[in-house]
Amino acid sequence: MSLTLPLVALCLAQGESQDPALVAERIGSTLRCPVCQGMPIAESPSQMAQDMMKRVREMAAEGKSEAEIVDYFVGRYGEWVQLDPPKQGMNLLLWILPAGALLAGGAALLLLLRRRRPVPPVAPPKVDAELVARIRDEVEP
Amino acid sequence: MKWRNVAIVAAIILPLLVLLAVSFRFDPRAVPSVLAGRPAPACDLRTLEGEATSLAALRGKPVVLNFWSTWCVPCVAEHALLQQAARSWGSRVQFVGVVYQDEPEAARTYLARHGSAYLQVLDDGSRCAIDFGVAGVPETFFIDAAGVVTHKQVGPVDAGLLRRHLAPLGAGGPP
């Protein structure tokens, strides 16, 4: 245990591997395959995706940085090619809208609950004591 | 009180309906073109006879670059139209067909049957297709004499579209 913890810490501190093959796989899993439905090029069996993967591997082997490789594809296919859209411009709506809707819904619910007046307690109906005695006589043996 | 509730519900639902209506006008599978207005990639290509060539070598006149394949159904009709256009515009416009994701032999057989009135090239490893951001066939790029992409057409071209996009490139009309 005393040995594994520093090892784990070391691995975490090193962060992502710089091995070109692993870099290529990592980039490939974030790029959208243009001939598929929402599938990364690293996972698609289509020839086009494999050709794109080949290009990513070549660029990684040439020592290009991750940002350079992603920029190359964004420069050709647009931001669309990234499965995870960058958090900027109109894309921010994706993050803001759900949180905003949740807040607005919560506020509306709170308002509604506060405005609802408590229901006045219902008084038990008055029953004639004589009637109760008569019922008792009939029911109880 | 009742009218207020209706107004509140309408205020919530109407913007959602507008969002839905606007969103339906976009094709989620359409890949936006980011190349328009930018220099066309140089693209090292190979003719069907195996000779090396490149897009950069074709500068000097407008180029119509058409990505197609033998398994693409709309490409058949488009091919006939492009052949006719290539004959009409003659030497004023360079038409180029790039075989996309297909076997060279299949392309040769296809062209022998359907005719080959303009330059046809092979794109090893789809390098040129990736450089142009091609996401399917047919896709056609209009490139001016200086080598700048002026328009990307997704899906088949027609005669009107060819005229519209070639006229501003100084190609004139078909004779």
The confidence score (pLDDT) of residue B31 equals 61
- Nearest beta carbon to residue A77 from set B29, B127, B133: B133
CB within 8 Å: B33 and A78: yes
Stated as kind and residue range, the H or E segment containing B118 is none
- Taking contacts as CB-CB distances below 8 angstroms, the residues of chain B near A55 are 125, 127, 130
pLDDT in tens, A10-43: 444 455 678 889 999 999 999 999 988 889 999 9
Length of chain A: 141
User: Which segments of chain B are extended strands (E)?
Assistant: 44-47, 52-54, 63-68, 94-99, 119-122, 139-143, 149-154
pTM, two decimals, is 0.75
| Structure confidence by residue, pLDDT tens digits, B9-57 | 999 899 999 989 988 887 766 666 789 899 999 999 999 999 999 999 9
Residue type, B99: V
* Cα of B158 vs its chain's centroid, Å: 12
Q: Can you tell me the ipTM of this complex?
A: 0.80
Q: How far is CA A82 from CA A47, A53, A67, A97, B142, in A?
A: 19, 14, 12, 21, 26
Average pLDDT, chain A: 85
